[in-house]
Chains A and B, each alone.
Chain A
Amino acid sequence: MGPSGGGKSTLLRVVAGLESPDSGTVEIDGQDLTGVPARQRGIGFCFQHYAPFRHLTVRRNVAFGLEVRRRPKAEIREKVDELLELVRIAHLADRYPSELSGGQRQRMALARALAIEPKVLLLDEPFGALDAQVRQQLRVWLRELHEKISVTTVLVTHDQEEAMEVADRLAIINEGRLEQIGAPAEIYDKPDNEFVMKFLGPATELDGVWVRPHDLVIHNEPGIGGQGALVERITHLGFEVRVDLKLDDGSSTWVQLSRGAAAELDGVPGDQVWVSRATPSKRHESLTEVVG
């Protein structure tokens, strides 16, 4: 994951063999594939715009990889049927790509890539061209599918939520550099640097340190060493409530509270409060509870 133009897709294409690296090697399963042409890498690649073969039916699209491998007709047929069933577009087998919706095309592209039984599945912004609702459904579906077929999958996205939801391991890439790699929760909680911190979710500054606004707590009275602040604005955003604060030292910050916590705080703009970082053990409760 990373912002657009950061080199994610290029990296994915290098892995697939569609581009060659200036330096470094590509290894899959311990095997050096750097000089191996794309067609011999045994990789499944899904393009952002799916790259459907427009002149072939869905069935022939999926069968393509097997046909160029000259597999027996019966085997191809069986395998394609199975895959179309798996991605739930069996009823569309004889349609042309132009007659499919975006989500259906996406699933066809996935089936096509899976047909060659790839060692690795590479997905380039697979949901980028879809509307929000379809994207959400496909994400869940992809996760389930992945559990069924268990192929190592590398997915490129610029969408934080999507990355957090589907990934077991997350690599943050920015301006061609790998910023951090690790489990999603780990990266979220312990970002290596400011960029990762800000990119992965909301961030604000307190005492010159970047924190997540939901890791801040607001007290109604001084005591546990909080910083004095004035409430500037309280914004209700459905489940969460955003409280903008003006700190005594003149800087600004904001805190993310749950609705319940905000009710408990019962503040209005102009109130004097104290703000501090939640202790690690309290961190996960801070959304629901105000430490008084």
Chain B
Amino acid sequence: MKSRWRLPLRTLALGYLALLVVIPVGSVFYRAFQHGFVAAWDAVTTPDALHALWLTILVVLIAVPLNTVFGVGVSLILARHRFRGAWLLDAFVDLPLAVSPVIVGLALVLVYGKTGWFGNWLAGHGIEIIFSFPGIVMASATVALPYVVREVLPVLQEIGTEQEQAATTLGASSFTAFRRITLPSIRRSLAYGVTLTTARVLGEFGAVVIVSGAIAGKTQTLTLFIQDSIDNLNPVGAYAGAVILAIIALVVLTVLGADSEGRRSTWRSRSDQSPSDSEMPLPSTTSILTSPMDR
């Protein structure tokens, strides 16, 4: 298009971004530190806030590794085996992307809650899931389920099985072949998927709010703490908590940005390889954003 359009369009695009994203996010930082750094610090170091932070970290430490192992496993199965119902497995893994987190929370209550399918059995064995820590972990793991698969599967499909087979003929066990050949090949996309999973688990609200009961100092994660602070007119606490999560989000973005750059250049240097190599997978935010259900 002609250059006279360039400036108006740029202004329009940047203006929209500024009003919708930049200024609001910036204002949270401003509000958090409006009454000084000390006030913000005090607000996030109350026992409830610290507990919420700790609980959030704990959820990440459990849900992310579980999802990572699961994600790699599903990717391996989908990439390496042809079987009836593969598309179904694929679709079910993606399902949490299509479903409201509130529904995910409700669904977990319906299975594991007091009146849920397993309610009696769980109560009989003294296991408490809903309104308790395990429920929070499950809710977080569910909403973040698709991310590792989404990132790793295309790469696994792209690299094929020849390298693993080569390793096998050279005497490697299938575990060794996985650890020394496959894992290094998917390392980047795996890191990417884990980063996205972590971001999602850290920030999950809708699913957690239903299953946790949001008991301050007990089942309150950081996102629930933020909401609670607003409801209880403790804006500084809310803003400070939000700043912590926003900073983590910015770190995530930086990691993703740096990684997709690195990835692109790696692919470029390989472009002279066999034909299959040239069909490179997308830089990832795009793939995760643009294709929840139809692969």
Interface check A213, CB cutoff 8 A? no
Residue of A nearest to B181 (CB): A53
> Interface-forming stretch among B71-79, B201-209, B269-277?
B269-277
Given A54-B185, A68-B176: A47 and B166 interface contact (C-beta under 8 Å): yes
B107 contact set on A, CB distance < 8 A? none
Interface check B168, CB cutoff 8 A? yes
Complex CA gap A222/B34 in Å reads 114
**Residues 34-53 (chain A) with a chain B CB within 8 angstroms:** 37-45, 47, 49, 51-53
Complex CA gap A20/B276 in Å reads 26
**Residues 186-206 (chain B) with a chain A CB within 8 angstroms:** 187
B182 to chain A, nearest CB (A): 10
Contact with A along B140-171 (1 / 0, CB 8 A): 00000000000000000001001101111111
Number of B residues near A (Cβ < 8 Å) is: 24
Number of A residues near B (Cβ < 8 Å) is: 32
Complex CA gap A44/B167 in Å reads 11
B166:A45 contact, CB within 8 angstroms: yes
A43 contact set on B, CB distance < 8 A? 169
Find the residue from B170, B273, B276 having the highest chain A CB count within 10 A: B170
Contact with B along A80-104 (1 / 0, CB 8 A): 0000000000000000001100000
Complex CA gap A17/B173 in Å reads 13
**Residues 16-38 (chain A) with a chain B CB within 8 angstroms:** 16-18, 37-38
Interface check B172, CB cutoff 8 A? yes
9 closest Cβ pairs, A-B complex = A65-B170, A51-B162, A51-B166, A45-B169, A49-B274, A55-B184, A68-B172, A38-B168, A98-B270
**Which residues on B are within 8 Å of A, measured CB to CB?**
159, 162-163, 165-173, 176, 180-181, 184-185, 187, 269-270, 272-274, 276
**Which residues on A are within 8 Å of B, measured CB to CB?**
16-18, 37-45, 47, 49, 51-56, 64-65, 68-69, 98-99, 109, 112-113, 115-116, 129
Q: Give 9 CB contacts A-B under 8 Å.
A: A17-B169, A44-B169, A45-B166, A49-B162, A49-B273, A53-B167, A64-B170, A68-B170, A98-B273
